Amino acid sequence: MEKSVIIKVDHVSMKFNLSSEKFDSFKEYVIKRIKGQVSIEEFWALNDVSFEVYKGDSIGLIGLNGSGKSTMLKTIAGVLKPTKGSVTVSGSIAPLIELGAGFDMDLTARENVFLNGALLGYTRSEMQSYYDDIVDFSELHNFMDVPVKNFSSGMVSRLAFAIATIGIPDILIVDEVLSVGDFQFQEKCEQRIQNMMEHGTTILFVSHSIDQVQKICSKIVWLEQGHMKCFGDAKVICDEYRRS
C-alpha cells in the first residue's frame, strides 16, 4: 500500500529582521526608529527548502548550529509562519522543541502536568488517566509537589518528555531533548520513540549526536546555512556528514 504524505515543506524561506545595535529601552528604540537611526539587517534562516515526509517515516535534521534546523521544526509545528512558501501538515503534533516552554515555573510539577495537558488539547480526566504513567516515566515520584523552578534542566526535560509522549500522536517533533539527562534516561526515551514508531508515529528528530540520529532515523535532511544540502538515506548521509 502506498504511504500518504503527512508533511509537505514547499519552497519554504524564513526571514528574520535583526537590529544591528542594542537599546536600553523600548522608548529609545521608538525614538531612534522615528528618526531613521535604526539599521535593520535581514537574516534568512531558511532559503527555499522543500521535502516531503511520509506517514511513519523517521526524519533526522542535521547541520551545524545556525543551519536552520530548529527554525524548520518550528515552521512545521506551526510556531512560525514561513516568509515564503508553505508547510502542510496532516495529523496531530506533539512538539518537544523548547523544554518547559509550556510550564509555569511557579507551579508544582503536578499542576504543570494538567496545565501542559490542556495546552496539548487533553481534558483533565484524560490527563488524570495518564498521570501515573507520566510520573513513572519521568521518575519524579518524590518531586511532583515541588515548584518546577526548583528543578534541574534534566528534571524539566524528564517531565516535558513524559507529558509530550503520552498516547500515540501522528507526529512527534524532538529537538535536542535527548541530550539532557543521564544515559539510562536517554535509552528510555529512545525506547519510547521506537515504540511510537512501531505504532505508526512519524518522527522529526534533531540531535547533536549523529550516532543517535542514525540509530533513530531512516532519512536525513541536511541543512547548511539555511539551504538544503541533501535529503535521503540516513546511513549514506550520516557517513558523508562525518567525513565533512
Provide the number of structural domains found in the chain.
1
pLDDT at 37 over 80: no
Range 224-241 average pLDDT? 95
pLDDT of 79 strictly over 90: no
Q: How far, in Å, CA of 217 to CA of 219, rounded?
A: 6
User: Which is more confident, 112 or 190?
Assistant: 112
Q: Name the band, by pLDDT with cuts 50, 70 and 90, for residue 189.
A: confident
Name the average pLDDT for the chain: 88
pLDDT band for position 102 (50/70/90)?
confident
pLDDT at 105: 92
- Residue 90, domain extent: 5-243
Mean pLDDT (whole number) for 183-202: 87
CATH number, domain with residue 117: 3.40.50.300
- The half-sphere exposure of 2 on its side-chain side, counting CA atoms within 13 A, is 2
Evaluate if residue 201 carries a pLDDT over 70. yes
pLDDT in the model for residue 98: 67
Q: Is the pTM of this model over 0.75?
A: yes
Is the pLDDT score of 1 beyond 60?
Answer: no
Provide CB contacts within 8 A for 153, sequence distance 6+: 99, 180
Among candidate residues 79, 118, 122, 121, the one with its CA nearest the CA of residue 98: 79
Q: What is the mean pLDDT of residues 88-112?
A: 85
> Can you say whether the dihedral through the CA atoms of 76, 78, 80, 82 is positive or negative?
positive
Q: Percent of the chain having pLDDT more than 90?
A: 55
CA separation for the pair 234, 187 (Å, rounded): 20
Does residue 60 have a pLDDT over 80? yes
Give the span between the Cα atoms of 154 and 149, in whole angstroms: 12
> Residue 91 — very low, low, confident or very high, per pLDDT cuts 50/70/90?
confident
Under the phi-then-psi rule, with left for phi > 0, alpha for psi from -120 to 50, and beta for the rest, what region is 225? Answer: left
The model's confidence at residue 153, banded by pLDDT at 50, 70 and 90, is confident
Alpha-carbon separation of residue 243 from 144, 236, 239 (angstroms)? 45, 11, 7
Q: Is 80 exceeded by the pLDDT of residue 20?
A: no
pLDDT of residue 2: 62
pLDDT at residue 71 in the model: 93
Could you tell me which residue, 163 or 99, shows the higher pLDDT?
163
